[in-house]
């Protein structure tokens, strides 16, 4: 058995036996999500929860002042940021902003993968958000929210984390780019769906993490999956299917034309989105 197949065999066996160690949400994200589900929560209490994490507090203020919020008056406190963003959006936005904490490793090869994956993921997020903003402006439809879109794009490839963690445990054998690429291609979707279930996310997020590469999986109506796929295609994540993804997006009216995706307006929306995670 080749070393490459050995890694796949270990991963598949652990998946089938339900022994693969899945990542857990960062503690602050868990606290925010729990607080958001409390029927008695208010803006002041939510601000207190977020204020427990200085990094999240700073990023929450940053997103409240971002171009996507469309306000000229700047906020300077967590309470003001929470008020501007609103309780409905806070749950997903806080989770999204905490995600970067998961992409760390002590192994040099795995760490490089983690860093690269986070950068690629942010690129997918930015392109997905810009596609959604362009779609919303053109169609005036607002049934797909920007905060859920952001989180969906951030977790679309979350299945790579257990693969990289397993490689780190056996770094002398598996911390090799060739082995990792093959395992990620074959197993990350299946694992990603399991992570979303483990975290208690709904079917929409499970479907995205599991099937974003599989164009045969197509929701009846325009969904978050459409925007994640366009974002991934524009970010070079699915080069072999890029044309198919864009053509499908135009057929489903997610995208009006290829020219729109290369316009100055689109580039500005994408760059503004990316600044949130800088």
Q: What is the pLDDT of residues 224-259, one digit of tens each?
A: 999 999 999 999 988 789 999 999 999 999 999 999
Contact status, residue 97 vs residue 60, Cβ threshold 8 Å: yes
Mean pLDDT, to the nearest integer, of 30-47?
90
- pLDDT, average across residues 259-275: 92
Confidence of residue 204 (pLDDT cuts 50, 70, 90): very high
Q: How far apart are CA 95 and CA 274, in angstroms?
A: 16
Average pLDDT over residues 261-269: 94
The pTM (predicted TM-score) of the whole model is: 0.86
Query: Which has the closest alpha carbon to 143: 218, 202, 222?
Result: 222
Domains and CATH numbers, the chain: 25-101 (no CATH), 103-278 (1.10.3210.10)
Residue 71: φ, ψ to 5° = -120, 145
Torsion of CA 215, 216, 218, 223, to 10 degrees: -20
CA 101 to chain centre: 13
Task: Return the half-sphere exposure (C-beta side, CA atoms, 13 A cut-off) of residue 171.
Answer: 10
Render pLDDT for 85-112 as a digit per residue (tens, 0 to 9).
888 788 888 888 888 888 888 878 788 8
Tens-digit pLDDT profile for residues 131-181:
999 999 999 998 998 889 999 999 999 998 988 887 777 766 665 667 777
């Amino acid at each position: 058995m080749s070393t490459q197949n050995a890694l796949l065999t270990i991963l598949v066996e652990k998946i089938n036996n339900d022994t693969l160690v899945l990542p857990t949400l960062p503690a602050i994200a868990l606290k925010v999500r729990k607080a958001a589900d409390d029927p008695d929560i208010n803006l002041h209490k939510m601000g207190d929860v977020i204020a427990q994490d200085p990094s999240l507090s700073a990023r929450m203020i940053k997103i409240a002042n971002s171009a996507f919020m469309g306000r000229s008056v700047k906020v300077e406190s967590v309470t003001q940021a929470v008020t501007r963003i609103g309780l409905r959006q806070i749950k997903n936005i806080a989770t999204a902003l905490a995600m970067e904490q998961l992409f760390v490793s002590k192994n040099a090869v795995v760490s490089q993968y983690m860093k690269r994956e986070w950068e690629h993921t942010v690129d997918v997020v930015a392109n997905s958000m810009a596609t959604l903003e362009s779609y919303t402006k053109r169609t005036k439809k607002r049934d797909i929210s920007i905060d859920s879109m952001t989180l969906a794009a951030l977790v679309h490839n979350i299945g790579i984390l257990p693969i990289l963690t397993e490689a780190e445990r056996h770094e002398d054998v598996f911390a090799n780019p060739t082995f990792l690429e093959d395992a990620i291609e074959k197993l990350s979707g299946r694992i990603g769906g399991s992570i979303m279930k483990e975290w208690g996310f709904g079917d929409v997020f499970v479907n995205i993490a599991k099937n974003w590469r599989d164009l045969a999986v197509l929701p009846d109506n325009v969904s978050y999956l459409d925007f994640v796929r366009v974002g991934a295609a524009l970010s070079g994540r699915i080069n072999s299917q890029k044309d198919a993804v864009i053509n499908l997006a135009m057929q489903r009216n997610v995208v009006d034309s290829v020219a729109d995706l290369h316009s100055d307006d689109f580039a500005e929306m994408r760059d503004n989105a990316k600044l949130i995670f800088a």
